[in-house]
Amino acid sequence: MSRSPERLDAFPTHRIAGFGVRAGRPLPFGASRVPGGVNFSVYSAGATRMTLVLFRRGEDEPLAELDFPPEFVVGAVYSMTVFGLDAETVEYGYRADGPFDPDRGHRFDRRQVLLDPYATLVHGRDSWGGQRRPLRSGVALDDFDWEDDRQLRLPSEDLVIYEAHVRGFTRHPSSNVDQPGTFAGLVDKIPYLKSLGVNAIELMPVFEYDELDNERVDPNTGKPLHNYWGYSTIGFFAPKAGLAATGRLGMQADEFKNMVKQLHRAGIEVILDVVFNHTAEGNERGPTLSFRGLDNSVYYMLTPDGYYYNFSGTGNTLNCNHPIVRGFVLDCLRHWASQFHVDGFRFDLAAILARAPDGAPIPNPPLLESLAADPVLRDCKLIAEAWDAGGLYQVGSFPNYHRFSEWNGKFRDTVRRFVKGDAGVAGELATRLLGSPDLYRGRAPTASVNFVTAHDGFTLRDLVSYNGKHNEANGEGNRDGDNDNNSWNCGVEGDTDDKHVLALRDRQVRNLLLLLLTSHGIPMLVAGDEFGRTQRGNNNAYCQDNELSWVDWSLAETNAGLLRFTRAAIAFRRAHPALRRPWHLRGHQGDGLFPEVSWHGERAWTPDWSPGQRLLAALLYCHGPEGHDCVYLAANAHWDGRELELPALPDGMRWHLFADTAQPDGHDVHQPGEEPPIAGDRVRVEPRSTVVLVARQTESRSERE
């Protein structure tokens, strides 16, 4: 683990390029403020010469270039303390000299001024879409007052994750925030998040990236497209300036910290979507920004003839299990956990983190083992997107060390298929409902991050409005994006004023939400799905920095019924421990009223698992300090309704109706604790609808009668 430098002697021993300097401390890597100056430390095993290049902030021409004398090199680490520097007014980079021999993996190019991989600020993209200056490294302030803030450490089984893009969340004019599209703008929406009931926000990439790194144009408008999502990192230790209202002032780190602090005060954890599978340098035709010029053969997976393996689908693959890269990833995550108080990480294309330098999967990947056991990361949630673009699919088999949860793609596919009416899915849906014990046996249900939609794919509204993708605006001839969406347009492709189609779509969205929020595991929603956000059929809006991607907050009013439904479903989940299991079900527990799960059909206790069946009915039960908790769920994906016999309750208890997606807006859901009793011992589940009941003690003579 990196250690902070000890106090340095403040007297220079050398004078280079007009600056007093002395041999620096090799650790920590990066630029660190020390008494009287700044300590610079950078690693390169292959370089033959290293130069520190200093700039006055905002100027293109160097202020000075300082070669590292041989006596300033320890092993493969170049370190130098430069005195008399004001870290707030200086930018820097490195020139690394060495062989340019691609066949052997070396691509040194002394003409390039390289970014420091450990830079805590990156200058050159100081405002979103603004002037592109040369990329330079910078040193962030370290005087933020956290007061008593710390990571929240919420139990995983209690989480409801909300995935959002910082810019897209508030950039739309309807957001009504003071600083749209920024960390500060997100702070203004914290009361909304709290009212929705989510308690973890998963932010799409916030490490520095170049939003203008896209050469395509919209074929319809001719306008340039963007690298909007940001899955091409150029500064792993630096929050993106263009996502901060104060980025022009170099205050993006403080603005980010304040956002985390305010979210924590509202009881909301912060999870970062991090991208360690590749960098913005692309393949051999890409730019030399940092790693390629410092030690190409160390940082990237290379073929025997020096080309880049492309398991990421973006041109290169970071060599994550090389000891140097492993240390870099660990240091980066420790930085965000300790300096920014973030509560967890979601690893993009995480299967790459389980590959050896030659691309072969490793059964015991050193990086993942180190992350799982790291003391600084102990309280962080670790979530893997357990596949990559090279075909390695590890959902249920990801090397987890009992620490990693996984985006459960099988949950997504099963729920989508069931709700759109595919036959033969009810049995698998039952397994997914219980936290996918077939995939995660020996682990907790919280190993499964359940989702129906994510940033990559259709929105929830589009999932029930389009059979196929409509990505023409991306300028790739509609070839990009997934073709296997398991979507159904309910009879009409896209926009329609057909009331029957619109009503069916509303019902299908509610069916999907109920199945998501009543399943064991960790549910994840995508920003705007709770009130019907659409991307008009685009299922790969990575380049769309416009109203196609931005959250349109006017929909919260237009679709107020859906928003009310979602809020109630989240509150219902929070109210019922039978839905938030910290362990997989074990059967009938002692003095309980029911087994922890029981399956039913048109007759109670008689499920029908035949291949053509499109009905699933379950009683989820637990008995704890707060009493008996009984939730009955019946999902009918058939085009005919069903009359179901309910499991009998003990004397003094009665079934109450929480939700029925077949009912019109305003009558489809009730507030938890205020559910009305139902009459009789049967319930009608209309075509393509879902019913959720809860057992409660009778409260009055009339109820008992």
Tens-digit pLDDT profile for residues 591-625:
788 999 999 999 999 999 998 899 999 999 998 88
pLDDT above 60 (res 566): yes
Look at residue 587 in the predicted model and tell me its pLDDT.
72
Q: Give the pLDDT confidence score for residue 367 in this predicted structure.
A: 97
Q: By the 8 A CB rule, do 420 and 429 touch?
A: no
Q: Taking 60 as the threshold, does the pLDDT of residue 378 lie above it?
A: yes
Distance CA 227, CA 128 (A): 11
Q: Specify the pLDDT at position 699.
A: 61
Confidence of residue 2 (pLDDT cuts 50, 70, 90): very low
Contact assessment for residue 62 and residue 54, using Cβ atoms and an 8 Å cutoff: yes
* pLDDT tens-place string over residues 241-282: 999 999 999 999 999 999 999 999 999 999 999 999 999 999
CB neighbours of residue 2 within 10 Å: 16
Domain segments of the chain: what residues?
163-285+315-508+520-561, 579-697
Arithmetic mean of pLDDT, 343-371 = 97
pLDDT at 705: 47
H/E stretch holding 560 reads helix 560-575
Quote the CA–CA distance of 260 and 183 in Å, as a whole number: 9
Query: What pLDDT was estimated at residue 585?
Result: 86
Beta pairing class for 642-645 and 49-56: unpaired
Tell me, what amino acid is at 572?
F
Q: Cα(first)–Cα(last) distance of the chain, in Å?
A: 68
Say if residue 110 is exposed, middle or buried (CB neighbours under 10 Å; 0-12, 13-18, 19+): middle
Residue 224 backbone phi and psi in degrees, to 5: -60, 145
Active-site residue identified among 254, 385, 428, 462: 385
Known catalytic membership, residue 348: yes
Say what the pLDDT of residue 592 is.
84
Contact by Cβ (8 Å): 109, 293: yes
Q: How far apart are CA 229 and CA 213, in angstroms?
A: 11
Q: Does pLDDT of 676 surpass 90?
A: yes
In sequence order, the 6+-apart residues with CB closer than 8 A to the CB of 602 are 608, 615, 642, 643, 644, 645
Between CA 49 and CA 52, with CA 51 as vertex, the angle to 5 degrees is: 155
Bridge-based pairing of strands 615-624 and 207-209 is unpaired
The chain-wide mean pLDDT, for the chain, equals: 95
Report percent pLDDT > 70 for the chain. Answer: 97
* CATH of segment(s) 579-697: 2.60.40.1180
Residue closest to 12 by CA, chosen among 115, 87, 95, 83 = 83
Rounded CA-CA distance 244/184 in Å is 7
> What is the per-residue pLDDT for 700?
55
Extract the tokens encoding 137: 């490294």
What pLDDT was estimated at residue 526? 98
Where residue 6 falls among pLDDT bands split at 50, 70, 90? low
Question: For residue 3, is pLDDT > 70?
Answer: no
Query: Beta partners for 657?
Result: 693
Confidence of residue 9 (pLDDT cuts 50, 70, 90): low
Dump strand ranges (E) for 108-180.
Answer: 121-123, 136-138, 161-164
Indicate the range of 87-101, 337-351, 691-705 predicted with least confidence: 691-705
Q: What's the pTM value of the predicted model, to 2 decimals?
A: 0.96
Active-site residue, 284 included: no
For position 1, what pLDDT does the model report?
Answer: 43
Q: Tell me the C-alpha to C-alpha distance, in Å, between residue 680 and each of 145, 147, 655, 671.
A: 60, 56, 9, 22
Give residue-wise pLDDT tens across range 37-60.
Answer: 999 999 999 999 999 999 999 999
Give the pLDDT confidence of 82-141 residue by residue, as tens digits.
999 999 999 999 999 999 999 999 999 999 999 999 999 999 999 999 988 999 999 998
- Length of the chain equals 705
Report the 10 Å Cβ neighbour count for 164: 24
Which residue from 649, 532, 516 is spatially nearest to 161, judged by alpha carbons? 516
Mean pLDDT (whole number) for 1-24: 78
Q: How far apart are CA 689 and CA 640, in angstroms?
A: 10
The model's pLDDT over 63-81, given as tens digits with 9 standing for 90+, comes to 999 999 999 999 999 999 9
Per-residue tokens: 665: 């807006």
Task: Determine the Cα–Cα distance for residues 653 and 648; give it in Å rounded to an integer.
Answer: 9
Q: Which is catalytic among the residues 348, 506, 530, 660?
A: 348
Among the listed residues 198, 176, 167, the one whose alpha carbon sits nearest the alpha carbon of residue 553: 176
Reference 247, options 127, 90, 124, 88; nearest CA is 127
Q: Mind listing the pLDDT tens digit for each residue in 485-528?
A: 999 999 999 999 999 999 999 999 999 999 999 999 999 999 99
Let me know: does 81 contact 21? Beta carbons within 8 Å.
yes
Using CA atoms, how far apart are residues 39 and 28, in angstroms rounded to an integer? 9
User: 323-339 vs 366-373: helix axis angle to the nearest 10?
Assistant: 30
| Helix, strand, coil percentages in the chain from 3-state DSSP, rounded to 5 | 25, 25, 50
Q: What is the DSSP string of 399-462?
A: --TTTEEEE-HHHHHHHHHHHHT-TT-HHHHHHHHTT-HHHHTTS-GGGEEEES--SSS--HHH
Are β-strands 448-451 and 404-407 bridged in parallel, bridged antiparallel, or unpaired? parallel
Q: How far is CA 575 from CA 193, 440, 447, 612, in A?
A: 18, 25, 21, 34
CATH number assigned to the domain with residue range 163-285+315-508+520-561, chosen from the 4 options 3.40.50.10470, 3.30.1360.150, 3.20.20.80, 3.40.50.720: 3.20.20.80
Q: Give the CA distances from residue 435 to residues 129, 156, 405, in Å, rounded to whole numbers and listed in that order.
A: 42, 13, 11
